Amino acid sequence: MSVTLTDQDKITLRTAAYGAVSLLAAAGATGSPHKVATQGSIALASATGLVGHVLAEKSTGMDLSGKSVAELADRVLPALTASVHLLKRQAPAEADNFRSTVLVAVEAAARAQKGEPGPTMADMTRKITEALDAA
């Protein structure tokens, strides 16, 4: 079965995945947010399957701007839920792949910090996981 995603579907997937890494970078701003973003992005670039192809495409159309973490979260958390829902409808195995890919990126991003992730990063990880599971 061939899955065809619209350009908007692809933007939603990329916004969700890269946005999750951006949320963690913001949550880890007291440490090394650039290391958090780098490690999370490397994990996303390692994705396979349909998800890997979508995440590897040029990232035009994504809007990860905002004046606060809250504004970013308002875009990203619903995009995570929408992405899993979309993939469950069109390609159930890819829904699991997407969820797993994002969680690996979150874990890689969190490990970029020295020591254990602090409570802010742990809370953001929980919110990301809940958004993925809400679909």
Residue whose token pair is 């990203």: 76
Q: Residue 109: name the closest of 4, 23, 10, 5 by CA.
A: 23
The reported pTM is 0.92
Q: What pLDDT score does 29 carry?
A: 66
The pLDDT tens digits for 8-28 are 999 999 999 999 999 999 987
The pLDDT tens digits for 112-129 are 776 677 888 889 999 999
pLDDT 10s digit of each residue in the chain, 135 long?
578 899 999 999 999 999 999 999 998 766 678 888 899 999 999 999 999 999 999 877 888 988 899 999 999 999 999 999 999 999 998 999 999 999 999 999 888 776 677 888 889 999 999 999 998
Residue whose token pair is 């908007």: 8
Q: What pLDDT score does 28 carry?
A: 74
- Give the contacts of 115 (CB within 8 A, at least 6 positions apart): none
